[in-house]
Amino acid sequence: MTLHIIDSSIIVIYLVAVVLMGLWLRSRAGEGMDAYFLGGRSIPWYVLGVSNASSMFDIAGTMWLVSMLFVYGLKGTWLPWLWPTFNQIFLMIYLAVWIRRSGVVTGAEWIGTRFGKGRGAELSRIAIVVFALISVISFLIYAYQGVGRFAAAFLPWDWTPDTYAMVLMAITTFYVILGGMFSVVITDVFQFVMLTIASIFIAFIAMSNVAPDALNAVIPDGWKTLFFGYTLDLDWSGLLPSVTEKITADGYNMFTIVWMMMLFKGILTSMAGTAPNYDMQRVLATRSPKESAMMSGMVSAALIPRWLMIGGIAVLGLVFFSGELRSMEGAADFEMLMPFVIREFFPVGVTGLVIAGLLAAYMSTFDSTVNAGAAYLINDIYKRYIDPDASEKKVIWMSYGASILIVVVGVVMGTQAESIHSAMGWIVTGLWGGFTIPNVLKWHWWRFNGYGYFWGMLSGIVTAMVLAQIVPASDYLYYFPVTMGLGAVGSILGSLLTQPDEMDDLKSFYTTVRPWGFWDPVAAEVLKENPEFKTGASAGRDLSNVAVGIIWQTSLVVAPVYLIIREWYAMGFAVALAVATSYWLKKRWFDELAND
């Protein structure tokens, strides 16, 4: 793609600015490990919330969601539940508070809060470090696939997608290494502003260029409908036969079954708490448990601009790119919708801003992932097993090396991935299947111990990696119960065939974190020592707030899409629903949070 000098200048200025940001923040990040990985727990919750949202506003995910909205219409807005996106609601309502009360640096260090210091706790800590590193590398593979294809379609040099991905990874790694969490968060906020401006431009261009009649002419009946029957019932055969082939390949035609599987998987995965990645790092970086909950709530609201971008690109693609998709030999490449729209519709200046904003989206996801991965390598491997007495200066230098190592491994493995969709599918359904049950039980069952956690995680991870070699990517969701089930067997047998954790460790966890669940024996011991103790926990209150929160989040997702396609009544209903659920959450969640 040939770029105007103004567009090229905007992109270059942005890339230079983020490198200078890392140099500027180097001294502050070098104050110590807490400053490097958690920003000294001094960053305001709303800044961390915007930073977290910016990290989720990634190129690969946006390209995938554009293709899902193109193919499935409003029903495609359910598909982010594969991650699941509503895990942010569980965090907002109660889990972020539980996590932050520990006061640790990483998710693996948090294991000591739950299981103490015995052999089982040590094994469980190793398991979560292994999972965290596999997770981090998987996300880097996913980001690598997205940014390489995006950059090759837009940037003017005749480089391969792999070359672009490596160069952009190198630039991002430089400022992450120097600035640590301070650099990540500040550049994330800067990038979020750029992305929001770009999203508004895209929405405006889509609404200016696509009349409702033009859209209706290229979509099947039911495309604008959020709800669905047993089957998908979108007949693309007379409009774009390749879409029918994609639906079949994705395995989503029996949409009610898919939706129920996503909900089932999503609830269990969300109850497990955040995975040991940049999301958990933001929770641990907040100044207090209350602020951790508010930060998690901020994420859902801050992602509204992303759906303006997704909706705008999908609509422009439907009207103007369908012909090109029909002419493609073999399988149509729906992941190229976004590059096509930006190339064809954006004027000089706006093109540079949008491309820089989307590169910022990639960098935001990448920088957060690298920083989180380095935290595990340094805090939970190097300092714990290799050099416990290392000076702060040495730890910072080792953190630089850890970041580089993670990036190199991610690049090498990224060159082997088939597509964005396959990388995403294995992460959200294969890998997370093994994570789920051990991490649900750790919150809610007193008898679950470190050995159970180790064997549960090991069973799930090994199963996920084996299935990745023998199961097609389109079937990952349906095999989630397999990985989850084997993780459950390992968890329960590992716990019941070994001794319970020390009661003192269990009491410490119960009184510090104050969870709800099956804790009666521990609660009885705590009350013997302190009859006045109250947890303040309420499963009924929290889960009802979660249900309302999911409705609130869904209304924030569909309202921008309805705006783009000018479905005014549906948009008005979504906005009214968002207001009503906000009032509920103010009374039943926020006010209770303030009293905690």
Residue 163: partners with Cβ closer than 8 Å, 6 or more residues away: none
Q: How many other C-beta atoms are found inside a 10 Å radius of the C-beta of residue 238?
A: 7
> Tens digit of pLDDT for each residue in 274-302?
766 667 778 888 888 999 999 999 999 99
DSSP letter for each residue of 517-572: SB-HHHHHHHHHH-TT------HHHHHHHHHHHHHHHHHHHHHHHHHHTT-HHHHH
Question: What does the DSSP 8-state code read for residue 19?
Answer: H
pLDDT confidence of residue 420: 47
How many separate domains does the chain show? Answer: 1
In whole angstroms, give the CA distance from residue 303 to residue 309: 10
Q: 336: which DSSP letter? A: G
Global pTM value: 0.85
**Domain membership flag for residue 359:** yes
CATH number at residue 47: 1.20.1730.10
- Buried residues in 365-374 as b, exposed as e (16+ CB within 10 A): bbbbbbbbbb
Burial label for 489, CB within 10 Å (0-12, 13-18, 19+), is: middle
Is 391 domain-assigned? yes
On whether residue 574 sits in a domain, the answer given is no
Domain-located, residue 307: yes
Residue at 449 is within a domain: no
Q: Is residue 126 part of a domain?
A: yes
Residues with Cβ within 8 Å of 202's Cβ and at least 6 positions away in sequence, in order, are 308, 309, 312, 313, 341, 354
Give mean pLDDT in consecutive 10-residue pieces for the chain, a chain of 596 residues: 79 77 56 54 85 76 86 93 89 93 71 85 83 75 71 75 78 64 71 84 91 92 90 84 81 86 86 75 86 94 93 91 69 69 79 77 67 75 80 76 78 61 52 80 94 89 74 63 86 94 92 93 93 87 96 97 96 97 96 74
Token duo for residue 115: 């299981």
In this structure, which amino acid lies at residue 445?
W
State the residue for tokens 């508004």: 200
Domain boundaries, position 118: 5-416
* SS3 at position 211: coil
pLDDT tens-digit readout, 229-260: 888 888 888 888 888 888 887 778 888 888 98
Q: What 3-state DSSP class applies to 445?
A: strand
Phi, psi (5° rounding) for residue 251? Answer: 80, 25
Q: Could you tell me what percent of the chain has a pLDDT over 90?
A: 31
How many other CB atoms are found less than 10 A from the CB of residue 531? 7
Q: Return the closest-CA partner of residue 453 out of 112, 138, 137.
A: 112
Give pLDDT, residue 304. 94
User: What distance lies between CA 100 and its chain's CA centroid?
Assistant: 19
Angle between helix 539-564 and helix 304-320 axes, rounded to 10 deg: 40
Residues whose CB falls within 8 Å of the CB of residue 30, separated by 6 or more in sequence, listed in order: 36, 180, 393, 396
Q: How far apart are CA 481 and CA 534, in angstroms?
A: 36
SS3 readout for 54-122 = HHHCCHHHHHHHHHHHHHHHHHHHHHHHHCCCCHHHHHHHHHHHHHHCCCCCCHHHHHHHHHCCCHHHH
Q: 278-285 and 350-377 helices cross at what angle (nearest 10)?
A: 80
| Residues 434-447: tens digit of each pLDDT | 778 898 999 999 99
Average pLDDT, the chain: 81
pLDDT of residue 107: 64
Confidence at residue 276, expressed as pLDDT on a 0 to 100 scale: 64
Look at residue 45 and tell me if it is in a domain. yes
CB 492 within 8 A of CB 460: no
Residue 86 lies in a domain: yes
